[in-house]
Amino acid sequence: MMAIQRRKPADEWSRTIVEFQSPHKLRELCIPQSGDRVGAQNIPVDQQKFKIRLAANEDRVQSASLLIQKMYSWRGYQAGEMGQDPNRITLLAFDIDKIVGTLTLGLDSQVGLLVDELYKPEVDGLRAQGRRVCEIIKLALDEGLGSKPVLAALFHISFIYGHNIHQGTDFVIEVNPRHVGFYRRMLGFELLGGERMCNRVNAPAVLLRLDLSYARQQIEKLGGVAHKPPGEKSLYPYGFSKLDEEGITQRLLHGTDS
């Protein structure tokens, strides 16, 4: 009875992409888990283990939606519906059974991207250059924990999906103008589209773009380093090493092909 109450269905655990210990030590790659730990609420953040999983069923999608609604409403934004789209990949960060972060990666297709609603000319400009654009949407983190390792892991897995697996060349994201500095410092995003009113969240937005060749350079230089270089303020040292990234990519490709 004790173990059965905490056991997860095998197909749910098989969707675990990576388990890591804060700040950025890789634990496991796409290995099914048989159960969860207990009592982690008393463990300091720098000793906690997190999992990144796919929102592979309705329960997980609903859990992601609840976190988005919670964090968006706290900032006065409208969250909207998550919805189902075959061209979107939703990632969830777990601390034990609790979802502490979520990010959705949108892949460009004939139906376009969500950012086309406000910034189609800007995105079409990239498309005209032969760029393959992906968008980051529905990003939310629980403010109750040290979020840099979790955000870095979510971003790095989205990079693996967008760049390594789907050959994307650019990420775009709509953010509140107040947050532009954060995305510039932490990941290297640059301004692509000016301020406009985003009715989906009932707040102003600007469009940022990240050239994924720059992200690749930073990952190879800084990913998984034991100690950040002096003055380095980006999220890249919190990400996975190049070797770990290659392992994750191969396992995801194998899972896709199976």
pLDDT exceeds cutoff 80 at 171: yes
Q: Give 148-169 pLDDT, tens digit per residue.
A: 888 999 999 999 999 999 999 9
Give the pTM.
Answer: 0.79
Q: CB within 8 A of 246, min separation 6: which ones?
A: none
Could you give all domains of the chain from N- to C-terminal order, each with its CATH number? 2-252 (3.40.630.30)
Query: How does pLDDT run across 55-111, given as a tens digit for each residue?
Result: 766 666 666 666 666 655 555 565 566 566 789 898 988 887 787 888 999 999 999
pLDDT per residue over 11-60, tens digit each?
Answer: 444 467 888 766 444 333 332 223 333 333 334 444 567 889 887 666 66
Give the chain's largest Cα–Cα span: 59
Going by C-alpha positions, the residue among 104, 189, 92, 74 that lies closest to residue 150 is: 92
